[in-house]
Amino acid sequence: MSLNGHVVPEPSFNVIMVGSLDMPGGLRFERHTHPVHQLNWATDGVITVTADSGTWVLPSTRALWIPAEVEHSTAAIGPAVMRSVYFPLADCPIDWSEPTVIAVSPLLGQLIDHLSRDGLPADARARAEAVVFDLLEPVSVTTLELPTPADARARAVTDALRADPADDRDLASWGRFAGAGERTLARLFVGETGMTFGHWRAQNRMCAALPLLAEGMAVGTVARRVGYGTASAFVAAFRRAFGVSPGNYFSAR
């Protein structure tokens, strides 16, 4: 079967299968499931994966294990190349029941590339697959959620901030922009996104920062682009959001 042109294997295959897809920025696969386990990885760029248990923002050094039949959606923040690695259910040594973040080391990435080759001999494939399973080590990361409010006034604010995350207008100014009182707008954010306006804006800035960092942009430049006066203020906010510094987040270890 296929999903928007993306081939999804049927549950009868018995080897690890690898698919690759170029994703323009903004492309999104709506909620769906796979009959097999999947490792979702962007070799270039940054993708997000959303399931009932959270949203994960994944640079090339992170991948997400998605168990079979777990409903999820996938989107590209900017241009990205997505590698989907599919694992047969039979004899799979991984038994994680929830989506799990994996650190993608250079060796794991090379093995996935190796398994994508056509005509790989069965014995060579079996050895490579065994090492892949050895390298699937979970890492602890914070999920990042950015819900969109249903109310048109609050949504006008979130749309403007997505377009320009550095816009530092306060809630009263945004209320005048959207045609709602400051208190009304504050209630709408909490009621429709589950977070305060300040929290939503901080999350939005982190979502905007990740693809820039993934491109190798300097931290100080990223800080200014997304609304922080100094690199140190941005790094502190990044640590609050993800529990690690930007450098450690993009490390393969």
Q: What is the CATH number of the domain that holds 83?
A: 2.60.120.280
Percent of the chain predicted with pLDDT > 70 = 92
pLDDT at 242: 84
- If asked whether residues 119 and 199 sit together in one domain, one would say no
Q: Provide the domain count of the chain.
A: 2
Question: In terms of domains, do 124 and 212 share one?
Answer: no
**186 and 125 in one domain?**
no
Average pLDDT over residues 122-148: 86
Q: Of 135, 163, 188, which one is at a domain's C-terminal end?
A: 135
User: What's residue 216's pLDDT?
Assistant: 83
pLDDT bucket at 90, cuts 50 / 70 / 90:
confident
What distance in Å separates the CA atoms of residue 116 and residue 72, rounded to the nearest whole number? 24
Above pLDDT 90, what percent of the chain? 64
Is the pLDDT score of 8 beyond 60? no
Count, residues in the chain: 253
pLDDT confidence band for 167 (50 / 70 / 90): very high
Q: What's the domain range around 62?
A: 2-135
Residues 184 and 111 in one domain: no
The rounded distance, in Å, linking the Cα atoms of 70 and 65 is 10
Same domain, 116 and 164: no
Q: Are strands 47-51 and 54-58 parallel, antiparallel or unpaired?
A: antiparallel
Residue 7 clears pLDDT 50, i.e. is over it? no
- Which range, 14-23, 91-100, 222-231, has the best average confidence (pLDDT)? 222-231
Does residue 146 fall inside a structural domain?
no
Q: Does some domain include residue 145?
A: no
Distance CA(39)–CA(136), nearest Å, equals: 10
For residue 239, give the amino acid letter. R
Query: What is the CATH classification number for the domain harbouring 208?
Result: 1.10.10.60
What's the average model confidence in pLDDT over 50-66?
87
Residues 12 and 123 in one domain: yes
Domain end residue (candidates: 135, 166, 189)? 135
